[in-house]
Structure 1
Amino acid sequence: MTPAILFITVFAVLFGLAIGSFLNVVAYRVPAGIPLVRESRCPRCDAGIRWYQNVPVVSWFALRGRCASCGRGISPRYPIVEALTAVFFALVAAGVTLGQPFDLRPVDGPLWFGSGEFWGTLITLEVFAALSVALTLIDLDVKRLPDAIVLPGWAAIVVLLLVTTLLAGLEPVSGDASTGPATAGIDWWPFLRALIGGAALFLFYLIVRLISPRGMGGGDVKLAGLVGTVLGWFGWGALVFGAFAAFLLGGIFGGILLLTGRAKRRSAIPFGPWIIAGAWVGIVVGEPVGRWYLGLMS
């Protein structure tokens, strides 16, 4: 691992810790209707929390998991979410840096790291990672996916993919001393495929909701549009595999709950976390699996 890659990964860890702390706030306040700009307070005694009592992970251990004012316990979920978000951000940074996710693009290979497309892809996936954590926590807590997060998140992803597309078109791909560097030109297809993927997955989930309103929430439908946009950017294989993985993972989890007696057939089980988990499976392995399958068919 080069020093530059190491620096980006370490920075992602530190940034992930800070974002994880903010996501704890988002997961608690948005469903409760509490403004995000309000100062941090103890949820039990309402005492203000000073900045040095709010350092991710460290402060929880320094305070021994208790409020400095009332002494009542602070949930260990706070440092766990902060630490897991940091790991999540680091894995995304390392994956984008080393994985070269667009192996059919001319900007790949030695020109990938540090390119405009690299930074656009990295920021887009880190934003999606933050949305994944926040929406998973909220859906598990209140079995709801707030429009206040899903819809702006979807819009942000579309804008970031558009910027990344424009940056990719400006990247040098070849050239010599006589002609100078050439550029790839703007390839609009990945962006259009992302929009198609978002619309397609939105419509698919909408049809499922119309057929079975009790089995699919409106928030799941909107989240599917966001997820389909991200997956469509990576390719059709990622889109199909990610959509299938959501139902597979959710079905396995539901089956385990039924077999262990922790849920009944009519029990409401949050599906948002499995839509998100399926999306990440599609991002990581969807395209390789798709190419492998097409190779078997040829």
Structure 2
Amino acid sequence: MFGSLFSITLAPKPLMSPRLILNASLLLIAVPISIVDLRERRVPDILSVGGTVAVLGLGAILRREGFLGQLLGMAAGTTAFWSVRFASGRKLGWGDVKFSALIGAALGPAGWFWAVMAASLLGLAVAGFLRAFRRIDSQAHIPFAPFLTAGALFSAIAAESLTGLLLGVAG
């Protein structure tokens, strides 16, 4: 009777899970990327490419079973954004393509999907608001990295629940 009680209270709990470490690492890199993109309208390779390498390295060390998912997320982020860049006549920057790869590497394919969905909806809402109040015109170039960062934060918090909900509805 008391054995199970003591085993619960005496069992050490990890302070940080591998997922939490990867999410925190992504956000520590994503915030400076957003600041630079807002100020200079560019995403520095040292942060996006270097961050991708760092996140993949952390993932390989911390969660070997999830490393394939990280690679698939990176591939999804790169391929999808490269396709958008190509189809849009290069209106999406290379920095955003590389940042998308970082987000995919950190969050995996499902997390990347939810991050991009949230970023796109938020970006459209802000652009629509700015356009409605005549703060920008139809030719304005709006930095996308801050929206990707907000989407990544949203995904880090809610992706698992949203994916489960979506699969539960579809199944």
* TM category, shorter: 0.7 to 0.9
Q: Does 1:226 align with 2:99?
A: no
Which has the higher relative contact order, 1 or 2, with Cα contacts under 8 A spaced 6 or more apart? 2
8 Å contact 2:29–2:51 — kept in the other structure? yes
Q: Which runs of 5+ in 2 are unaligned?
A: 1-9
Pick which of 221-230 and 287-296 moved more: 287-296
Q: Does 1:201 align with 2:77?
A: yes
- Please identify which structure carries the higher helix content: 2
- CA 1:288–1:120 in structure 2 vs 1: closer, same or farther (change >3 Å)? closer
Instruction: Indicate the SS of the match to 1:114.
Output: coil
TM-score where L is the length of structure 1? 0.51
Instruction: Give runs of aligned pairs for residues 1-298 of structure 1, distance below 5 A.
Output: 113-114=13-14, 118=16, 120-166=18-64, 188=65, 190-232=66-108, 236-298=109-171
Name the amino acid aligned to 1:151.
V
- CA 1:149–1:210 in structure 2 vs 1: closer, same or farther (change >3 Å)? same
8 Å contact 1:120–1:163 — kept in the other structure? no
Equivalent pairs counted in the alignment come to 162
Sequence identity (%): 30
- CA 1:287–1:220 in structure 2 vs 1: closer, same or farther (change >3 Å)? same
Instruction: Give the superposition deviation at 1:283.
Output: 1.4
CA deviation map 1:98-155 (0-9, x unaligned)? xxxxxxxxxxxx978327xx35444433322221211111001011001122111111
Instruction: Indicate the SS of the match to 2:63.
Output: helix
Instruction: Give the superposition deviation at 1:214.
Output: 4.4
TM-score where L is the length of structure 2? 0.86
Instruction: Give the superposition deviation at 1:266.
Output: 0.8
Instruction: Give the superposition deviation at 1:160.
Output: 0.6
Aligned equivalents of 2:111, 2:46: Cα separation in 1: 27
8 Å contact 2:23–2:107 — kept in the other structure? no
Instruction: Indicate the SS of the match to 1:159.
Output: helix
Name the amino acid aligned to 1:250.
G
8 Å contact 1:209–1:217 — kept in the other structure? yes
Instruction: Give the superposition deviation at 1:265.
Output: 0.8
